[in-house]
Amino acid sequence: MLRTVTSEANARARVPASPLPDQPVVRLGRVPYLEAWELQRSVHAARAAGERGDSLLLLDHPPVVTLGRSGGAEFLRTDGPLQHPALGPIEVVRTDRGGKITYHGPGQLVGYGIVSLAERKLFPASYVHAMEAVLVEALRILGLDTKAEPGRVGVWTEDRKIASIGVRVIDGVTLHGFALNVENDLTPFALMHPCGLVDVHMTSTRAEGIGASLDEVGEVVAKAWLERFPPPARGAAT
């Protein structure tokens, strides 16, 4: 029988003080999923209280499958514990983000945007579109032609999906974000119907012939993010 870990217990716990610097982009390296979820919550609480500015947290995760608010075990291709021949057991975590199901693993660039939509004059849908535009621009700089498709959240190159997006908004401030496949093993996606799509084919920058490393892709994405979500001018009111 499939065992899932839930982030709901984390959500009920006291929110810790944010241990992260108040910077527009914070690079974290490899962080276990639930630990990253705690970091998101602490940054979110500080942002909602007006104690810090918007931030993009860039990181990757050890192998984990996450289920969104509209996702469930029906999108997995097995009823038992998830096991991958190279990666071993893969934890399944039920989250509070939008969307259905996806995989995170080493070499995949994950970006968690903690953004005040009111201050940016954005609605949730326009924020998602802005995030898609950031990734499309970053991938263009890297030499890969991609697109956002109406009605299908994420970023695509031809008929292959290279980035997934799922967010939540609490008190006008966003949580969660995007997952861009860079140099991660794509075979774990075969354990599920990614994003709840039966016929989707997942790809990565490496699979598409882009040789940039995870860190190099992260640098390009960070610059594209700051173009779209620039920090306020020093001394400006927020």
User: Are residues 135 and 178 in contact, defined by beta-carbon separation less than 8 angstroms?
Assistant: yes
- How does strand 88-94 pair with strand 101-104? unpaired
User: Are residues 28 and 59 in contact, defined by beta-carbon separation less than 8 angstroms?
Assistant: yes
Residues marked as catalytic: 195
Q: Where are the beta strands (DSSP E) in the chain?
A: 5-6, 25-30, 55-60, 64-67, 82-84, 88-94, 101-104, 108-114, 147-149, 152-157, 160-170, 173-181, 201-202
Neighbours of 150 (CB within 10 A): 6
What one-character-per-residue DSSP string does 9-42 give? HHHHSPPPPP-S---SEEEEEE--HHHHHHHHHH
Q: Which of 53, 31, 33, 35 is nearest to 44 (CA)?
A: 53
d(CA 123, CA 66): 25
